[in-house]
Structure 1
Amino acid sequence: MHAAITYVGIDLAADPKRTGIAQLRDEGTKVVVEDVQVGADDDAIVSAVMSARKAGVDVPFGWPRAFVELVEAHRTAALPPPPSTGPQWRREILYRATDLEVRRRVGKNPLSVASDKIAHPAIRWAGIAARLREQGIPVPPDGCGVACEVYPGAALAAWQLAGHRYKGTEGAASRAVLVKQLSTQLPWLDWAAHHDACVDDDNALDAVIAAVVARDVDHGLATPPPPELAELAAEEGWIWLPEGS
């Protein structure tokens, strides 16, 4: 008999009220959306990750190495003058290796954790990760521990379901179409009583997608860092993308 396995997805916002959590129960022949909620404080997130075989978290797990080095060099007045401070130099400073890989592979542009508002939930995750480590739960940036970094929008692109403007109140109709398409693409996924919650709130839907990707990572169906980027991923984080349809 197949022992049920729990996978967790977290759509992490800086504001707990907008943070989504989904739990999947993998029964072998089917995977059931066991619970979806929007509104999760740090305690709820720590508890959810600790209960999971694998947790997918929609948030950057680290900062670009070049950005960290620049800040430290600037702090100590040791920064050498660059030949130019133009867009190419800034791009090399502000984006992680994994951000550029996602753009190359699926055409999605992750937000820069060094220069965009995504830094606020990333800082929240840094504090949560510290709590998890204190509890003996490994959460290295490259995702080889219990938690891995995911990007629902890029996962949809990998599944050839990109193009939906499904965020916010105005995206409800698109979310209804997207849930229907996901049901067709993932016939083993039983939405149970949570279909409507995912149509009503994009944070709930992203949490379910994050949990599905976490399951893919656990099953070896997502792309790990290539050897030449493994060292950078261990510092900066790595966005795990499903391998495709």
Structure 2
Amino acid sequence: MRTLGVDLAAAARKTAVAVLEWDAGTARLVHLALDVDDREIVELFGSSSMTGIDCPVGWPDAFLPFLAGHLNLDARSVLEHDGIEGRRLLAYRDTDRFVTGHTGLIPLSVSADRLAHPAMRCAVIQAKIAAEHGPQARDGSGRLAEVYPAASLKVWGLLARGYKGRGAPEAERLGVILEHLAAAAPWLDLAGSEDRLAASDDLFDAVIASLTARAAAVGQTLHPPETHAAAALTEGWIHVPSGQLAGLTRA
């Protein structure tokens, strides 16, 4: 099995990918790249069993009707979201609330935060994948799963905060996380890329996304409960690991 992890940015710059090859109780990093364009992502998707992408694959179900109501001067549909609680339904998806309840982490809003631009690119990439490899269900039941590296790290008992950035404290924390990852997953061969990973949180997140893609592929992530299943198909679903790192090689 080959798993692809994508840490998606709004443009090719700072977009990172990592491909892991799984065999006989081991995983080896066989491809690691930064500043990756759409074409490479689509090609790598085609040669991978499962892809984990660190970016929302959809928007809240309430968001588009709200925008349509505003466009069409339909005051009733707009006023349904008056007040902070109404606006939360526009900002956060079912899966965002589920992840917060399960991990305590609050995903960024796809419609009201810094993820909006990357999510637009993600929608285009999904269309390109569909054109070449067939449509992929947004709930992760196909070969594409939305992932959240911070949630994966927390479930796996690794430091999940404070490592993003270019400063010395962030770099030091990232180095510590890499050491802990090596101890928790001695079966993971990073193929001499430790220095590159320690210098780039984008590349590191791509590796975590690839590990989470493996968890999704072997049934070791939390799937949408029945009450969230319909929304997961339209809004997307974040696949959070349901087990520990060691289980990824035993599947």
Report TM bin, short chain: over 0.9
State which of 14, 29, 50 in structure 2 corresponds to 1:18: 14
| Separation of aligned partners in 2, 1:137 and 1:28 | 30
8 A contact 1:50–1:137 mirrored in 2 = no
Give 1:74-223 correspondences, 5 Å limit. Answer: 74-80=70-76, 82=79, 85-170=82-167, 171-223=170-222
8 A contact 2:127–2:135 mirrored in 1 = no
Q: Is the partner of 1:7 in helix, strand or coil?
A: strand
Q: Is the partner of 1:100 in helix, strand or coil?
A: helix
Give 1:63-78 correspondences, 5 Å limit. Answer: 63-78=59-74
Once the 2 structures are TM-superposed, how far is the Cα of residue 9 of structure 1 from its aligned partner?
Answer: 0.2
Once the 2 structures are TM-superposed, how far is the Cα of residue 83 of structure 1 from its aligned partner?
Answer: 6.9
Alpha carbons of structure 1 residues 221 and 163: separation in structure 2 relative to 1, 3 Å: closer
8 A contact 2:220–2:241 mirrored in 1 = yes
Once the 2 structures are TM-superposed, how far is the Cα of residue 158 of structure 1 from its aligned partner?
Answer: 1.3
Once the 2 structures are TM-superposed, how far is the Cα of residue 187 of structure 1 from its aligned partner?
Answer: 2.4
| Separation of aligned partners in 2, 1:138 and 1:27 | 28
Match of residue 248 from structure 2:
none
Residue identity in the other structure for 1:111: L
Residue identity in the other structure for 1:94: A
Residue identity in the other structure for 1:35: H
Give percent identity, aligned residues only: 36
8 A contact 1:137–1:146 mirrored in 2 = no
Alpha carbons of structure 1 residues 83 and 138: separation in structure 2 relative to 1, 3 Å: closer
Moved over 3 A (4+): 81-84
| Separation of aligned partners in 1, 2:177 and 2:98 | 25
Residue identity in the other structure for 2:155: A
Coordinate RMSD, CA, aligned: 1.4
Once the 2 structures are TM-superposed, how far is the Cα of residue 42 of structure 1 from its aligned partner?
Answer: 0.7
Alpha carbons of structure 1 residues 89 and 135: separation in structure 2 relative to 1, 3 Å: same
- Normalized against structure 1, the TM-score is what? 0.94
Unaligned runs of 5+ in 2: 245-251
| Separation of aligned partners in 1, 2:180 and 2:243 | 15
8 A contact 1:138–1:146 mirrored in 2 = no
| Separation of aligned partners in 2, 1:74 and 1:229 | 27
Once the 2 structures are TM-superposed, how far is the Cα of residue 84 of structure 1 from its aligned partner?
Answer: 7.1
1:99-141 deviation digits (Å, cap 9, x = unpaired): 0011100011111101112011110011111111111333221
How many corresponding residue pairs?
241
Residue identity in the other structure for 2:216: V
- Does 2:56 match 1:60? yes
8 A contact 1:35–1:194 mirrored in 2 = no
Unaligned runs of 5+ in 1: none
Q: Is the partner of 1:18 in helix, strand or coil?
A: coil
Q: Is the partner of 2:20 in helix, strand or coil?
A: strand
| Separation of aligned partners in 1, 2:159 and 2:240 | 14
Match of residue 31 from structure 1:
27
Q: Is the partner of 2:145 in helix, strand or coil?
A: strand
